[in-house]
Chains A and B, each alone.
Chain A
Amino acid sequence: DIQMTQSPSSLFASVGDRVIITCRASQTISNYLNWYQHKPGKAPKFLIHTASSVQSGVPSRFSGGGSGTDFILTISNLQPEDFATYYCQQSYSAPPTFGQGTKLEIK
């Protein structure tokens, strides 16, 4: 199985900040990388697929990049509703696997 490793595991930031979350795959996955946002008690939300394609309805402050084994999620101008846990996930090969999550908290 492909291992996905996110860093950092937790991150403290303030409203208005720009934050970057990284995700590394244990082998090359081309651009088959998705990002999700999860808030406690809510359904996870699909943010970005194929590394950089932002889903319809997702604010433009969210962006993604990378290919091969190294990927990033950037959130610019953090808003209060962005504080959540973020997961990367590879869709390159079965079984699909997730990173361990990055919890974004208010400083």
Chain B
Amino acid sequence: EVQLVESGGGLVKPGGSLRVSCIGSGFTFSDAWMGWIRQAPGKGLEWVGRIKSRAHGGTTEYAAPVKGRFTISRDDSKDTLFLQMDSLKTEDTALYFCITEFYGYNFNYWGQGTRVTVSS
């Protein structure tokens, strides 16, 4: 059974940084394209970004609102995905979901999310 478990969410001040993690199990993590999707309170789903597998270059892509501030990385030896969030803004407050992706922007497995609150 595929499982994605996020951790590391919390309260951070505007301008601060936070790193959230996601551990995957039940699949070959190193082969998977991984990513993050978020949901602000009372809002819909918003794609944050993705990282391809090392076999596909390990390249990253980001949504415009987070580009230059967020960094996605992976440690395949630990089956772990990371989201480093810098220069956080109040509008980054959201539940952050870890996802697996197949065949281009099809999100087949999701975690339950980790909550990030940016507030002074």
Which residues does A use to contact B, with CB under 8 Å? 34, 36, 41-46, 49, 55, 87, 89, 91, 94-101
Contacts and interface: CB of A to CB of B under 8 A. Distances in A.
Chief secondary structure at chain B's binding surface: strand
28 contacts: A36-B107, A43-B4, A43-B111, A43-B113, A44-B45, A44-B97, A44-B110, A46-B106, A46-B107, A46-B108, A46-B109, A55-B108, A89-B45, A89-B105, A89-B107, A91-B104, A91-B105, A91-B106, A94-B105, A95-B47, A95-B63, A96-B47, A96-B105, A98-B44, A98-B45, A98-B46, A98-B47, A99-B44
Listed from nearest, the 3 A-B pairs whose CB atoms lie closest are A91-B105, A96-B105, A43-B110
A48 to B, nearest CB: 10
Chief secondary structure at chain A's binding surface: loop
A49 B111 CA distance: 19
Contacts, number: 49
Contacts of B111: 43
Contacts of A45: 110
